Amino acid sequence: MNPLPFFDTDPGRVAATLLVLWGIAVVWTSLTGGSDPSAALARRHVQMLQRMEAFRRFMAGLVLIGVGGAVLAQAPWLLWLALGIGFVEILESSTLIAVWKSRPPAQPRT
C-alpha cells in the first residue's frame, strides 16, 4: 500500500516542505529547550522527567521530518519507518512519563 502518489502534487509538496520545516523547529526546540533551557535534551543538569518530555518532543519532530521527507522523496519505506518507530518511541516515553508523574522516584539518600 503506497498512499504517497496522492500527495505528489504542488500543494502536497508544499505541505510536505512545511511539515519538514515544522519538524526541524520541534527537534531544535527539544534539543535546546526553546524558551525554557531547563527542559533541554542536550543540556547538562536537566531533571530526568524534563529530559524524557524533551525526548518525546524530539521523536515527534523526527516523525514530522520523516513523513515530510517521505512525501517529497516518494519513499513509502520512509513513511512507514517514520510512523512505526515514532509510534513506538512516543508510546514508550509517554508511558514512562505517566508512571513517573503518578509515582515520582524517591529522593536519593545523602
pLDDT digits (tens, 9 = 90+) for 61-73: 999 999 999 999 9
Q: Please state whether 21 falls in left (phi above 0), alpha (psi between -120 and 50) or beta.
A: alpha
Cell numbers linked to 109: 539518600
Please say if the pLDDT value at position 109 is more than 80: no
pLDDT in tens, 7-35: 788 888 999 999 999 999 999 999 988 88
pLDDT in tens, 30-88: 998 888 787 788 888 888 888 888 999 999 999 999 999 999 999 999 999 999 999 99
pLDDT of residue 8: 80
Cα distance between residue 5 and residue 94, in whole Å: 32
